[in-house]
Structure formats: structure tokens, C-alpha cells
């Protein structure tokens, strides 16, 4: 793609992640949304159009159905790819696998989301950890919300030589708000049957050196995930050293229970007050006042907004694949500025 | 207040309603936020400051505490009232009663919210029903979220001569999202002990002619209220006539279960997609496709966003009290335009 | 079947209803549980065996699988029917339809549950309403939990000439506790798309004269349903007359919000304290202290334990089909005594 | 107290714990319920009377109020203590502290529950860990539900020399079912502000050698707690060795996710099927099929029925204080047999 022009980004799948990626891309000075492709014909597509996005059918038949539903449609997926430098596939788990063949055939660089397997692209991405290795690649996979938070936080501890091993209990929200009328769990808890859960090995696809094991439990709420960690430190450290380590990441933000933010619902109210779209929390919101160091053990909890945390990573991944920006810090700074990420929340 | 200048609006109580009123006032070309007064010193005040509002302590002691917490404070309530044409009191239930004396003593026109009693101002307000009678008054009370929805919808039926009597079952959200870590009900339902519930008589403070009785039941969710109505029509009517009646209000918006919007959580996702602050739903969201007329009986359900529905009413009430705009339709049109209310949602 | 001996009852489907029917039948002096047939091999079958029931596979293959799982199996469905006078089919919705052919072929009298259609048996049953017409029949259908409550309560009003018409809003629990890890709704409400909902016409399969219309809304709890009714009386009546009408049914029990029983969770705690199996509430629990008469309108709320309310009806239906007891009142009295139903709860 | 006669047990506070203790004591051949004292006059006292318990007012004024409410009252607390060998105080947190003076003055042996502090009795009790040291004491404290589970499970690992250190994440139910209409959290999670949470030190009041640290998070459900543990073993061990260690306790019962018991709601259904009062789960229900050993690390999850787990401990504590039974194993066996605890569930 020619230097100087904007990176043209196609979004395939306009769901929880796709619509946020589209919104975030639209706010980057060096990018433009080429269009969004989907299979739906209901209010969600009308909302996409109202948000200013050009609509495409995921296949020809969907373009036809959209047109019949009165939606302004510009064509199908192939048409979208014709105007796209980097495509971000945000389709539901495992649907993307089929699209990959199309992207490969057309030579369009592509990004998958964390529901797909590492092998689908051979590269798994978290900006602060391995941006450089994605520069100019054909494809990468932005890892899942939980894994992104793991790599950000443990990566921060590792950078300053504090990390020995980490064991995390992950309380996973049962379903997303938009579809909470369709399913979810009620008045119970559901431990995942696989111990350890997949997030540890998944984090290792980004950084194989991480000694991390997780156990996951589904909980009856829709707001986001909550992680509780026990970390063995590589050496004795003060509380302040640990906090300073986390501060090296602009995408870990401290919240304080005693500042009126003791729980995810309050944190989401705050991000709503900040005027962020959908009240999105892009950062790991880590409770700094309740964090505790005991000897060589470190304990802390944080919240993960599963709908939003991968959005800045995806924007960086677009820039990396495009080859326009080779420097991780520079890309992160641009993304952060465009999304209002400052390291602090309020 | 001098013509031509903007109406200076003071907000007392920066909670769920207060912050929304402040944001909505800031979007009106003929109004300006003079400042917000509160008693808090935590993130909520920092968010208010970041939103551009001037902070005042609800009393001198609160101003001191805010200053000590590092907040930029411009003074106390008296100072705020010195720069205010109309004050909107959004303090918690029954706190406002005490503030009223201060407003009266200073001669500042004031608006109370629906938690207060009708007698506190002698006038209860819903823009489409009785704007004219509030013009130039010293004070009015914007009725509660539930009552506002009742007056809007039954008022629409009444305007076209269709209303005989209405019986409603109100499913009330148990608590607001921001404080759902502090209380609420779990895995149960709580019928209100008073049958009928207070919303019927409350609606009659706006329109004494309404024949309306309600029963209220608290339900274990935080998104908003849901009303289910059985209306006896004054004469046989078609479904289309009923829908046309509702369409006479810009603040009743139709949603369709079969368009992917069968439940409040999906509707809130949609208003979030529309980019509204906090995903606010100012309209009564009435399910038009499931509405049913059987003989002289009419059945329908709608959703009430208890955090947002009174916001446009409050803006209109400010304009009415100020005396600057004597025409209800003109005020409603200005408010609607500023808040993105069009009669349709998406 | 020979007089004097006990009625041999087979239970097909040992789920939420089946296991309760089995337990209730075991407590009747004139009945015996011939066995329970199911398709499962997990803890539920072991619990059935521990409860003293003889196990049968729903088909030969299930008998084999049960045996392989180490369960004591006495045979398959055909074997069970060989020792059964009346079979109660409690299989999931619409599965029973296939079993009916088997019952008919073998000439075994059978009872279906409310998930099946009226046409499947041509007779729909509520003991207080139409026991007599079921005596000696080949088959009947015990109507659903909601419909049972409607017929009991409106039937009581009708018996004393008070009923003109009834409009009910039904808050339906989203899923049963045992399977609440598999599905359900979260932090939302889901109005049924069909207005009126099916319970009105369903009640009319038992009593065609009832003027009843219902609207149903799914709510995020698992304990039971809650109905809110507006009844137009046939004539002015006092509160006491209405309560006396409800007292004519032993299966309507009064609860008082002001006695510490304001909500279904508290009511279930109480039935647990009474030592009932699973804390089952067989009665309609009607809030007598909040019931209100205004002119010719009557308002009241009640709770329905969807897992338990049809159990006494099913026991009566067995007796009716068997032909051993032709008198409704006599059967109801026997059933009530065996289950601890007294008209009062505590 | 004379040998040969039954131990006369008084229960003070007939709430969630008190009523279960009363029921469990009534099932012991060597004990008798002297009576229950409380302050209430509503259905709960009527249910207590129906359960066969003699009622006493917690003070004279309560006895009067009970009598006025039509309850059969035998006297006040002093009267109850006059007929009591061991009193079990099950009053709400910190109320018991005041009662202790009365018990001491009268020389009545007494048991407190886990809401009270260790210092209140100087002895904290878990039967399998320290029955012997409670024999003949004036008083003991049965530790809380969570702590009881910790001591049972880690104690089992310690007995066979497998325990080095344990780190647990405790998901705490937000409120009990009976009062879930009064409070609780909704659609959020609330991490406790103190890390570590108090259960670790509390377990050390029973066994000071346990190296245990816990983090607690309140979750929006009412069924019970769920613990997720990471244990460092003292030496490499097989999965079978670990399971065998847990099997040394009759009060740890295995459940299997793949047997249809993946979540607390399903487990409670099962205990209901077993016919236990209120479906009580006295055992730690530990998921044996998902338990995992990796090198010298052990991972497992279990459920704690916070309403029931301390009941068998309390029965044993009564026997210990009474001095009638000096042997822990003998007392545990008697209690288990009376309550249907067998080591297996179904």
C-alpha cells in the first residue's frame, strides 16, 4: 500500500468486537474504515450505517438480503476486500477459519480474534509484548480478552525482573449484555472442567517464558471478568516496586476500592462518565489499594472488560501488519491518544 | 433574567440523574451549566470536573472536603445559586425538601425530581401534558420515570379519544447499575405491599382525568423498568389507529421484538450503538409488533430507562420555568434535537 | 384393575415433575409406584434407586446403558407398562406425544403433563374444576403450573358468582434451579412475543366459560412464577367475601407480606421449614394482606411453585382415571392429607 | 449432668443455623432439644412450634410479644437455660457476645458460631481436627462455613503428609436465600478489600501449623460458596494419593462434573433428591474428576453449603463440651449416622 495514504481497514463481523474495532479505527488519523461485512439485516446493520460505515454482505446472498431489508449495501466480502489493506475478522468463534482461505487467496493481510487458534496465523499478538515480530506479517491473532490481560500484567512484572510464577483464578462473566436474554447461568457458578484452563498456554503463545497457570469459573454476571492472582516474585520487593512495574504499561490503570470503585459495576459507571463509547474499559483495571505483598508473594485482583480490552491491541496489530509503523511504542502512543488511554482513568 | 443570554442552570446532586441533566443542559444552545453541587469527594467529582463542570460543595464543609481531596472547587451551594437562574435538585429522595427552603429564600426557580412529593412544588410536570401551566412558575416537579412513561403513553391515547381506563403491571428494576454492589434483590421477586402502587395517583397529579391503576413488582435486574398494560378503549379501534396515537409523541419510540430487540438488554445495546451518553434511552421503547387489540381492549408492553427518561422532561421544565419559551412544542423540538430524539431509534 | 388392591402407577420421565409425582404417589395409601422409566444413567437414576423406586429404561437401549452404568434395572418401558394400571408421562415437552401410541396400543390409562396439547388426550384436568369428567377415562392431561393456578383461583371466584373477567400478568421464572447452569436469562426481562399468552385459552380447555386473558414476561429468577391479577367482579363485593371465596379451595393458601413472607424466596424458606420434600409448595400462595378490592375491581398477587403445584392434581388424576374414586372431594381430601395440604401453610 | 440421660440442648437464635442445629440435635439419640429462644413473632416461630420445639423469648419482653402473637411460649432465656446442659448460640454476628455473660453467670456450657471471635471462647472447633481439646470445656466456637471447609480439606492433606502450603480463592455467595429480597449484589462481583481475607488466620485458630492464604470475592448467587485451591505439595504425589487423602474424611464427598453435577445448583438438587431437610449439604462437595496434580502442585474446586456445613460440627461440639464422649471418631460416627453422612452422596 502506498505510503502517505491511510490504511484501509475492512471489518468482517459487526458484533461486540467488530463494532468496537470499527469505531476505534475510525478515530485513528492513519486509518480509514473501508467497510463492514456481516450476515444480518436487523437493527444492528442500521446502527452500523448510522455510525457511518459502508455495509457489505458477508456473501452475495447476504448482500441481497440486506438490500431487500432496505439497507444501503455496497457489495459482498470480495468487494470489501478489493478496497482493504488489512482485514479484521471479528466473526464468531471458528467462523473465521473459513474466511482465512479467502483472505489468503486474495493476499489481504488479516487479523483474527482470540477465539481462533494460534496455528491459524502462527502469530499471537499483544502490543507491549511482541509488536515488532508482527511488523509486515501476513497475519496475526489478537489473543482473547483474558489472555491479553495476563500478558499485559505478567509482562509488566517480567520486564522489571519480578516475575517467577503466577497462579490465577479467573471469574468469567457468563454472557455479554446484548445477548443475556438468550442464555447464561442463573444463581450458580460453573467451574470449567479443564484444570488448568486454556489461558495459561494461550499466554505462552505470546511469551513462552511465562510460568502461568489459571483456573476459570463462570459467574452469573454480564459486566466483565475478574482475575485474582497469586504471584511468586523472583525476589523480595516492596508494594511500591510492584506498583511501579505495573505503571510501565499505559494499559494497566489503577482503581481504588476506597475511592468508590470497589466493584466492576462501579468501574463501568465511571468509564461511562468518561464519555467512552459503550463505557468501554480498554485498560486492565487493577485494584491498587488492595494489592498486597507478603514476603515473596504478591496478591492482586483486576477487572477485564471482555468487550473492550482487545480493541487497542487490534488497532496496533493493524498498524504492525501494514508495515507503516515499525516501532511498538510509537504505535501504542498513537492508539492510546486516539482512544483516550492515559494510564489513569479519572 | 435578561433576554438573549443563556439560561444559567445549577445542578444540585451529581448522581444518576444529576449528571445526565448536566450533560443534557450542556447540549442546549440556550442554556449553560452554572455548576454542580455535591457532597462527595471521590472519582465521581473528578469525573464531573473532567466533563467540564464547575464544582461546588453542597455546604461549606463539603467545599472544604473537596478542596482537601484536591478537587477544584468554586464555592458552596449559596455561591452556585448566585450564578443560577434555574436550579435542578437531583439529590436523593427527600433530601431536596430541605434545599427547597434555601431556593425559596434566595428566590431561585427550582425543579425537583419525582422522588419528592407533589405538594413540595404544587406542580408536577410532563412536557407533552402540561408545559404551558409551568411557564414562569417558581417551581415544578418532574415526575418519576414510571409516571413520566404513564403520562406520555396514556396521554397519547387520550389525545385521540381512545382512552377509557388503563391497568398496568410495573416490573421495577431493583437497583441502579452503579450501586448494584451495595444492594438489590437476588433470585426473587418482590411485589410492592401497596396495591394499587403510587404511580396511578402520581400520574393524576399531572392529569387528574386519567383512569389509571398500577401494581408494581420489584424484579432482579438493573437495566430498567418494564410495563405491561391492559387498556380499555373508549371505542373499538384498529391496531393502526393505536400505533398512530402513540406516534403523536416524539418521546415514544417503537421497537420490534422480531427485529432483534425482544428485551431491555438488547435495546440498551442499541442505544449504546447510537452513541448516546451511557446508552441513554430517553424515549418510552414500546414493542409495536407485539401490541394487540382485542375488541375494546388493548395490550402492550414497553421499557422505561429509569436513569434517562426524565432528562428531556427536565430540560423542558427548565425552559418553562425560565419563561423564555412559552410554547411546549417549540421547547420539545429544541430539546429533542439537542439530544438526538427523533421518534425513531434506529 | 381389581378392587381392593392398590393402583399401580408407572412414571415415565424422572425429572422435576416425575420425581415429585413418584414421591407423592408413594405417600398415597391406595397407590404404589410400579417403577420409573428414564433415559439417563447419572446421579439422578442413583437417587431414584435410593428413593426406593424400581428403574426401567425408557427403551431397551437405555435399560442396557443403565445396566452398564451399574444401575439396578428391571427392564424397559414395555416391562414397566406390564405392571402398571396408570402411567404418568413426565417426559419433556412433546416427547410424550410419541409415548402415547405405546400406551394406547397396550391399553394403559395415561396422564400427560401441561407441556402437551389438549388434543393429545381430549381432556384437560384440574381436580377442583372437572374431576368427575375424568373418572374412568383412558387419558387426561394435567394442565401446566400456570394454568392450574388460574383455574384454581378463578374457579373459586366463579363458584361464588363473583367472576366477570380476569386479566393477568404472569412473571415466569426463566429456568428451573437444577438446570440453571445450562441456560436462562441474565439481568433482563423477556416479554413473550404472543399477546395474549397461551394460558388463557389453556384454562378454557378446562373451563370454557372463564373470561381470562394473560400476558407473560420471563424474569431472571429460578424460584417460581408470580401472577398479578386484575379481576372485574360480577357484583360489588367486600374484601372478606373475596377471601372467603378463595378459602373454598384447600389448594389456595394465604400468605402475608407483613408476616415476614413478602417474596417467593421467603415462602420457599417456609415450605422448607415445614419439612416438605424439596420445600415444595403445592398450593397457590396468595398474598391475602395486600389483596385489594376497589369498586368492582379486585387486585391480587400470588406465587406459583412451578415444580410442585401440579403434583396433587396429578395424584387426583390417577385416582380419577383408575375409576376407584368417583367423588372429587373425597380424592382431594385423601391427596391433601397425604401431602400435608391443609389450606393453611404455617 | 447425670450420665445415662440425654444431653439437654438449648438453641438461642432460630435462624438459618439455629433451625438446622435444632433439627440435627433432635435426630441424635443422646440429645434432646430443650427449646429454642428467639425475638421473632412471625411465621418462623410458628414453623418452629410445628417442628415440635418448645419456644422461649430471648428476653422477657419477647416472651410477652410471642404470647400476644398467639404463640405457645414456655418462658424466657433464663427459663430455657434452667433446662439446658449445653446452649448453642446461633444469633446474628456479634449478638452472641452479650449472651455469653449470661451463660457464664449461670455456668451453662455454650457454643458460639463462626461469626464470633476466637477470643470469645478461647477455643475454635472442627471435629476432625481438635475434638479432644474441647472435651469438657466450658465453651467453644464452631468456626465459620468457609473455615470449616478449609480445615477439613487441608487437614486431610496434612494427615498424610502432603500439605506444604495452600492458596485459595473463595467465591462467596452474596446472601442467603431466605433474605435475598432484602439485599445482595446484582450483576457484579465484589472482591473483599482485605487481602488476605480472614479465613486463613481463622483456620489457624484451629490448627496453627496450616500455611494457608485466602482471597475472597463476593458473587451474585445465593446457593453457597465455591473454593478454588492451589496447593503446593510436600512431595510429588499421584492424583490417587490425593484423592485417598481426602477420603480419610467422611465429611468430604466427591462429586463429578461429568456425572451431571458440574455446578452448585445441580448438587443442591441432588441433596434435595436425597430427602435431606432443606436439601442440606453437610459435606464439602469436592469435584474429584476435575482435580489436577501437576508436579508438586495440586488444583481443585469444591462447594460449601454455608447454611449446612457447620451443623455436624456443632453436634460434635455439643458432645465434646458435655464430656459424655471423649473420642472424636466415635462422636463423628454417631453424628454422621444420624444425619445420613456416609462419605458418598449418591
Over the range C230-263, which residues count as b (16 or more CB within 10 Å of their CB) and which as e? Answer: bbbbeeebeeebbbebbeebbbbbbbebebbbbb
Q: How far apart are CA A250 and CA A267, in angstroms?
A: 17
* Contact across the interface for A226 and D262, Cβ inside 8 Å: no
Q: Is A268 on the interface with B (CB under 8 A)?
A: yes
A345 pLDDT band, cuts 50/70/90, is very high
**pLDDT of C95:** 85
Residues in chain D, pLDDT under 50: none
Range list of β-strands (E), D77-233: 86-89, 109-112, 124-125, 139-142, 163-173, 190-191, 212-219, 225-233
Q: Does the structure show a pLDDT above 80 at B3?
A: no
CB distance from C174 to chain A under 8 Å?
A: yes
- The three three-digit cell numbers of residue D138, written as one number: 466450658
Cα–Cα distance, B265 to B270 (Å, whole number): 9
Please judge whether A184 and C185 are an interchain contact, meaning their C-beta atoms are less than 8 angstroms apart: yes
List the single best residue of A20, A49, A266 to mutate versus B (max B Cβ within 10 A): A266
Q: Left, alpha or beta for B184 (phi > 0: left; psi -120 to 50: alpha)?
A: left
- Residue pLDDT, tens place only, A243-287: 999 999 999 999 999 999 999 999 999 999 999 999 999 999 999
B67-103 in b/e form (b: 16+ CB < 10 A) is eeeebebbbbbebbbeebbbbbbbbeeebbeebbebb
Mutate which of D266, D301, D307 to test chain C, going by most C C-beta atoms within 10 A? D266
C266 to D181: CB separation less than 8 angstroms, yes or no: yes
Residue B105 has a pLDDT of 97
Asked if pLDDT for residue C214 goes beyond 80, the answer is yes
pLDDT, tens only, D114-168? 999 999 999 999 999 999 999 999 999 999 999 999 999 999 999 999 999 999 9
The dihedrals phi and psi of C191, each to the nearest 5 degrees, come to -65, 140
H-only helix segments in chain D = 16-26, 43-50, 60-68, 77-81, 96-106, 127-130, 145-159, 199-206, 239-247, 264-273, 310-322, 328-339
Under an 8 A CB cutoff, do A46 and B274 touch? Answer: no
Give CA–CA dist B100/D113, Å, rounded.
49
What does the pLDDT look like over B143-191, one tens digit per residue?
999 999 999 999 999 999 999 999 999 999 999 999 999 999 999 999 9
**Average pLDDT of the segment spanning B115-130:** 97
Is A39 an interface residue toward D (CB < 8 Å)?
Answer: no
Which is nearest to D3 in space by CA: D28, D30, D34? D30
Of D177, D186, D222, the CB nearest to B184: D186
pLDDT digits (tens, 9 = 90+) for A284-314: 999 999 999 999 999 999 999 999 999 999 9
Hey, is the C-beta of A191 within 8 angstroms of any chain C C-beta? Answer: no
pLDDT at C3 over 90: no
Q: Is B39 part of the contact surface with chain D (CB cutoff 8 Å)? A: no
Give the distance from residue A40's alpha carbon to the nearest chain B alpha carbon, in angstroms.
10
Inter-residue contact B219 to B247 (CB < 8 Å) = no
pLDDT digits (tens, 9 = 90+) for B246-287: 999 999 999 999 999 999 999 999 999 999 999 999 999 999
Looking at CA atoms only, how far is residue D48 from chain B in angstroms? Answer: 24
Q: A175 contacts in C (CB within 8 Å)?
A: 186
Under an 8 A CB cutoff, do A191 and D215 touch?
no
Catalytic residue among A126, A142, A145, A261: A145
Cell of A3: 505510503
Q: Do the chains contact at A269 and B346, CB–CB below 8 Å? A: no
Q: What pLDDT score was predicted for residue A93?
A: 83
Rounded distance between C-alpha atoms, residue C266 and residue A277, angstroms = 41
Contacts of B181 in chain A (CB under 8 A): 262-263, 265-266
Query: Pairing state of beta strands D212-219 and D190-191?
Result: antiparallel
C297 touches chain B (CB under 8 A): yes
Residue of B169, B285, B292 to mutate, testing the C interface (most C Cβ within 10 Å of its Cβ): B169
Whether the CB of B191 is below 8 Å from some CB of chain D: the reply is no
Residue in chain B closest to A266 (alpha carbons) equals B178
CA distance B293 to chain C (A): 9
What is the fold, at CATH topology level, of the domain defined by D145-304?
Dihydrodipicolinate Reductase; domain 2 (3.30.360)
Segment B118-124 shows an average pLDDT of 97
Task: Measure B303 CA to nearest chain C CA, in Å.
Answer: 10
pLDDT, tens digit (0-9, with 9 covering 90-100), for A86-100: 999 999 987 898 899
Do A183 and C183 touch, CB atoms closer than 8 A?
Answer: yes
Spatial distance between the Cα atoms of C212 and A243, rounded to a whole number of angstroms: 65
C-alpha C35/C-alpha C52 separation (Å) is: 9
The superfamily (CATH) of domain B7-143+310-339 is: NAD(P)-binding Rossmann-like Domain (3.40.50.720)
Q: What's the confidence (pLDDT) of residue A112?
A: 98
Q: Find the mean pLDDT for residues A142-153.
A: 98
C220 and A CB contact within 8 Å = yes
Mean of the per-residue pLDDT values of chain C: 97
Per-residue confidence (pLDDT) for residue A2, from 0 to 100? 55
Taking all residues of chain B, what is their mean pLDDT, rounded to a whole number?
A: 97
Chain A contacts in chain C segment 51-90 (CB below 8 A): none
| Residues 6+ away with beta carbon under 8 Å from A11 | A18, A21, A22, A25, A33, A35, A36, A37, A53, A87, A88, A90
Write out chain C residues lying below 8 Å of D262, CB-based: 181
Longest CA pairwise span in chain A (Å): 66
Q: What is the pLDDT of residue B2?
A: 55
Give C143's DSSP letter.
P
> Exposed/middle/buried for D235, CB within 10 Å: 0-12, 13-18, 19+?
exposed
B342 near A CB under 8 A:
no
Is the CB of residue D299 less than 8 Å from the CB of residue A169? no
Cross-chain Cβ contact C290/B167 below 8 Å: no
Cα C195 from chain centroid?
A: 24
CATH topology match: C7-143+310-339 vs C145-304: no
What are the pLDDT digits (tens) for C278-319?
999 999 999 999 999 999 999 999 999 999 999 999 999 999
C26 within 8 A of C35, measured Cβ to Cβ: no
Which of D190, D196, D292 comes nearest A195 by C-beta? D292
Q: Which segments of chain C does DSSP mark as H helices, in order?
A: 16-26, 43-50, 60-68, 77-81, 96-106, 127-130, 145-159, 199-206, 239-247, 264-273, 310-322, 328-339
Beta-carbon separation of D272 and C270 below 8 A: no
Mean of the per-residue pLDDT values for chain A? 97
Mean pLDDT of A58-72: 98
Q: Would an 8 Å CB–CB cutoff place C181 in contact with chain D?
A: yes
Q: Tell whether A181 is within 8 A of chain D (Cβ).
A: no
Q: List C53's β-bridge partners, or say none.
A: none
Residues of C in contact with B212 (CB under 8 A): none
Give the helix/strand (H/E) hosting D187: none
Q: Is the pLDDT of residue C1 over 90?
A: no
Percent of chain A with pLDDT over 70: 99
CA distances from C242 to B231, C299, C344 (A): 24, 11, 17
Rounded Cα–Cα distance for residues C179 and C165 (Å): 36
Preceding amide of C196 cis, omega within 30:
yes
For residue A19, what is the nearest residue in chain B, using CA coordinates? B273
C neighbour chains, 3+ CB pairs within 8 Å = A, B, D
Of residues A299, A254, A281, the one with CA closest to residue A340: A281
Query: Rounded to a whole number, what is the distance in Å from the CA of C181 to chain D's nearest CA?
Result: 7
Q: Write out chain D residues lying below 8 Å of C45, CB-based.
A: none
Torsion angle of alpha carbons A264, A269, A270, A276, nearest 10°? 110
Query: Distance (Å) from the C-alpha of residue A175 to the closest C-alpha of chain C?
Result: 8
Question: Of the candidates A191, A226, A300, which has its C-beta nearest D189's C-beta?
Answer: A226
Chain C residue with Cα closest to A217: C181
User: B291 and chain C: CB distance < 8 Å anywhere?
Assistant: yes
* DSSP secondary structure code for residue C313 in this structure: H
- B323 burial class (0-12, 13-18, 19+ CB within 10 angstroms)? middle
Chain C residue at shortest CA distance from B218: C263
pLDDT in tens, A179-229: 999 999 999 999 999 999 999 999 999 999 999 999 999 999 999 999 999
Residue A334 has pLDDT above 70, yes or no: yes
Catalytic residue (choose from C90, C111, C129, C145): C145
Query: Please, which pLDDT band fits residue C56 given cuts at 50, 70 and 90?
Result: very high
| Tens digits of residue pLDDT in B73-91 | 999 999 999 999 999 999 9
Domain boundaries, chain A: 7-143+310-339, 145-304
Choose, out of C179, C184, C191, C223, the residue to mutate when testing the contact with A (most A CBs < 10 Å). Answer: C184
Does C194 sit within 8 Å of B290, measured CB to CB?
Answer: yes
Place of cell 487497542: A312
* C193 interface with A at CB cutoff 8 Å: no
Amino acid at each position: 500500500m502506498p505510503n502517505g495514504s491511510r490504511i484501509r481497514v475492512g471489518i468482517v463481523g459487526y458484533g461486540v468486537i467488530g463494532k468496537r474495532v470499527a469505531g476505534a479505527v475510525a478515530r485513528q488519523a492513519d486509518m480509514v474504515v473501508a467497510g463492514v461485512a456481516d450476515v444480518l439485516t436487523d437493527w444492528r446493520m442500521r446502527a452500523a450505517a448510522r455510525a457511518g460505515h459502508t455495509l457489505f454482505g458477508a456473501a452475495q446472498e447476504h448482500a441481497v438480503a440486506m438490500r431487500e431489508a432496505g439497507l444501503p449495501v455496497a457489495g459482498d466480502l470480495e468487494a470489501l476486500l478489493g478496497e482493504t489493506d488489512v482485514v479484521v475478522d471479528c466473526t464468531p468463534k471458528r467462523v473465521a477459519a473459513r474466511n482465512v482461505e479467502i483472505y489468503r487467496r486474495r493476499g489481504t493481510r488479516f487479523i483474527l480474534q482470540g477465539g481462533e487458534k494460534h496455528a491459524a496465523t502462527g502469530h499471537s499478538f499483544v502490543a507491549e509484548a511482541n509488536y515488532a515480530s508482527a511488523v509486515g506479517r501476513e497475519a496475526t491473532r489478537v489473543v482473547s480478552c483474558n489472555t491479553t490481560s495476563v500478558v499485559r500484567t505478567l509482562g509488566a512484572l517480567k520486564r522489571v525482573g519480578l516475575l517467577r510464577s503466577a497462579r490465577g483464578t479467573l471469574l468469567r462473566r457468563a454472557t455479554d449484555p446484548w445477548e443475556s436474554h438468550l442464555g447464561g447461568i442463573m444463581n450458580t457458578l460453573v467451574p470449567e472442567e479443564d484444570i488448568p484452563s486454556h489461558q495459561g498456554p494461550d499466554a505462552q503463545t505470546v511469551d513462552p517464558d511465562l510460568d502461568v497457570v489459571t483456573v476459570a469459573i463462570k459467574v452469573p454476571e454480564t459486566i466483565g471478568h475478574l482475575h485474582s492472582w497469586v504471584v511468586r516474585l523472583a525476589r523480595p520487593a516492596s508494594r511500591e516496586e510492584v506498583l511501579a512495574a505495573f505503571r510501565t504499561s499505559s494499559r494497566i490503570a489503577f482503581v481504588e476500592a476506597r475511592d468508590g470503585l470497589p466493584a466492576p459495576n462501579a468501574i463501568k459507571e465511571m468509564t461511562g462518565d468518561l464519555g467512552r463509547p459503550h463505557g468501554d474499559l480498554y485498560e486492565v483495571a487493577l485494584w491498587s489499594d488492595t494489592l498486597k505483598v507478603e514476603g515473596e508473594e504478591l496478591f492482586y485482583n483486576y477487572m477485564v472488560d471482555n468487550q473492550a480490552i482487545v480493541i487497542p491491541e487490534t488497532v496496533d496489530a493493524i498498524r504492525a501488519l501494514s508495515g507503516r509503523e515499525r516501532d511498538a511504542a510509537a504505535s501504542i502512543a498513537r492508539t492510546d491518544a486516539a482512544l483516550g488511554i492515559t494510564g489513569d482513568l479519572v
